[in-house]
A and B are shown apart, each in its own frame.
Chain A
Amino acid sequence: EAGVAQSPRYKIIEKRQSVAFWCNPISGHATLYWYQQILGQGPKLLIQFQNNGVVDDSQLPKDRFSAERLKGVDSTLKIQPAKLEDSAVYLCASSLMGPRNIQYFGAGTRLSVL
Chain B
Amino acid sequence: AQTVTQSQPEMSVQEAETVTLSCTYDTSESDYYLFWYKQPPSRQMILVIRQEAYKQQNATENRFSVNFQKAAKSFSLKISDSQLGDAAMYFCAYKVDTGTASKLTFGTGTRLQVTL
Q: Give the B-binding residues of A (Cβ under 8 A).
A: 3, 31, 33, 35, 40-45, 48, 50, 55-56, 89, 91, 93, 95, 97, 99-100, 102-108, 110
Interface centre among B33, B97, B101 (most CB of A within 10 A): B101
Assess whether A107 is in contact with B101, with CB atoms less than 8 Å apart: no
Q: Among residues 1 to 60 in chain B, which have CB atoms less than 8 Å away from a CB atom of chain A?
A: 4, 33, 37, 42-47, 50, 52
Distance from B18 Cβ to chain A, minimum over Cβ atoms (Å): 24
Q: Does B84 contact A (CB under 8 A)?
A: no
Query: Once bound together, how far apart are the Cα atoms of A60 and B87, in whole Å?
Result: 32
Residues of B within 8 A of A (CB): 4, 33, 37, 42-47, 50, 52, 91, 93, 97, 100-104, 106-109
Are B102 and A31 in contact, CB atoms less than 8 angstroms apart?
yes
Give the contacting residue for A33; candidates B91, B103, B109; CB below 8 A.
B103
Residues of B within 8 A of A97 (CB): 100
B37 CB contacts on chain A under 8 angstroms: 105
Which of B43, B93, B101 makes the CB contact (< 8 A) with A55? B101
- Known contacts being A40-B108, A102-B47, is A107 close to B42, with CB within 8 Å? yes
* CB contact between B102 and one of A35, A44, A48, A107 (< 8 Å): that residue: A48
A105 contacts B106, CB within 8 Å?
A: no
Cβ A55 vs Cβ B45 within 8 A: no
The answer to whether B43 and A42 touch across the interface, beta carbons within 8 angstroms, is no
Task: Pick the contact of B100: A33, A50, A100, A110 (CB < 8 A).
Answer: A50
Assuming the contacts A48-B101, A50-B100, A99-B102, asked whether A107 and B107 have C-beta atoms less than 8 A apart, the reply is no
Residue of A nearest to B93 (CB): A42
Which residue of B45, B50, B109 contacts A91 across the interface (Cβ within 8 Å)?
A: B45
Q: Are A56 and B101 in contact (CB under 8 A)?
A: yes
Contact check, A42 vs B103: say whether CB atoms are below 8 A apart: no
Q: Which residues of B contact A56 (CB under 8 A)?
A: 101, 103
